[in-house]
Amino acid sequence: MTAVSSTEQDPVATRAAEPLLRIEDLAKQYRADGPFVSKDLSFEVRSGEFVAIVGPSGCGKSTLLRMICGLLDPTEGRVLLDGKPVTGPPPEMALVFQDYTRSLFPWLTVAGNVAFPLKKRTDLTPDEKRARIDEAISAVGLAGFEGYHPYQLSGGMQQRVAIARALAFRPRILLLDEPFASVDALTKENLEDLLLTIQQRYADEGITMLLVTHDIDEAVYLADRVEVLGPPPCRVVEELPITLARPRNQIRTRGEQAFLEARALIHERVGLNRQRAGDEPTP
């Protein structure tokens, strides 16, 4: 008798072993006669993982996120969600952008902004919608601010509203495109920890996070794995698992040897890639 692995015997285990997202040989050209922004870009994301994507400025990180969530068609390759090609924005994904001032509706309250994407959901009763809105607002620590308008909130609070709005949708995958690039350093730390709290709070549902960031320290602090992209046409040049213990702590974790080693390695990879992009070292 041929020995079979446990996943071959158990179809449920087989499904669980399948990646949630498979990014396969993506290439993007904005114009047919223009340069390739990415080429042969491939990696996988499993359910519940926190994956950070870093790379040199302009290498195509935002382009990649937009292809993953179906807002942009790849020129070559494909994105598979649960094994099926993504051909448009899937309901399982929500996207948070850097610029919260443009993503919130200024004329709506906090509750109104969070409620907005649920408006057309016919599968939820008004009570279920209300419960989701309340839970998302409380998950980001804004209970009590439901009736405030964006102009009455700090930048960090506005970004919390944007995150609550994404969470109210109960996405399986939360895509974050440099979400904390426009806030001060202390607020940024608070918001980073908010993401970790959200990950724990929704652990049973297995929320998966994909974060694009310029900040290598932030990537190491938050992620289970960092995908380092090279210069355009970008592809993955390093895939680094981050084995730091959870729960993480802004002071303790950032002082650990493993943290320092991971950040040094990523800095080196991004630096080497910068050289390859054209900054030829002088002999």
Ligand X SMILES: Nc1ncnc2c1ncn2[C@@H]1O[C@H](COP(=O)(O)OP(=O)(O)OP(=O)(O)O)[C@@H](O)[C@H]1O
Residues at the interface with ligand X (CB under 6 A): 30, 37, 55, 57-63, 214
| Contacts of residue 17, Cβ cutoff 8 Å, sequence gap at least 6 | 7
CA–CA gap between residue 5 and residue 36 (Å, rounded): 41
Q: How far is CA 215 from CA 45, 196, 248, in A?
A: 20, 16, 17
Closer to ligand X at the Cβ: 57 or 122? 57
Torsion of CA 128, 167, 205, 140, to 10 degrees: -100
Helix (H, G, I), strand (E, B) or coil at 217: helix
Query: In whole angstroms, how close is the CB of 66 to ligand X at the nearest point?
Result: 8
The DSSP bridge partners found for residue 44 are 22
Residue 232 DSSP class: S
Query: In whole angstroms, how close is the CB of 37 to ligand X at the nearest point?
Result: 4
* Helical pair 155-168 and 185-201, crossing angle rounded to 10 deg: 20
Closer to ligand X at the Cβ: 170 or 263? 263
Query: In whole angstroms, how close is the CB of 93 to ligand X at the nearest point?
Result: 18
Closer to ligand X at the Cβ: 29 or 249? 29
Closer to ligand X at the Cβ: 156 or 232? 232
Query: In whole angstroms, how close is the CB of 62 to ligand X at the nearest point?
Result: 3
Q: Kindly give the residue spans of alpha helices, DSSP state H, lying in 81-170.
A: 100-103, 110-115, 126-139, 155-168
Query: In whole angstroms, how close is the CB of 35 to ligand X at the nearest point?
Result: 8
Query: In whole angstroms, how close is the CB of 56 to ligand X at the nearest point?
Result: 7
Query: In whole angstroms, how close is the CB of 24 to ligand X at the nearest point?
Result: 19
Sheet holding 93-96, edge to edge: 93-96, 173-177, 208-212, 50-54, 225-229, 236-241
Quick one: how many helices (H) and strands (E) in the chain? 11, 10
Residue burial 146-155, b: 16+ Cβ < 10 Å; e: rest: beebbeebeb
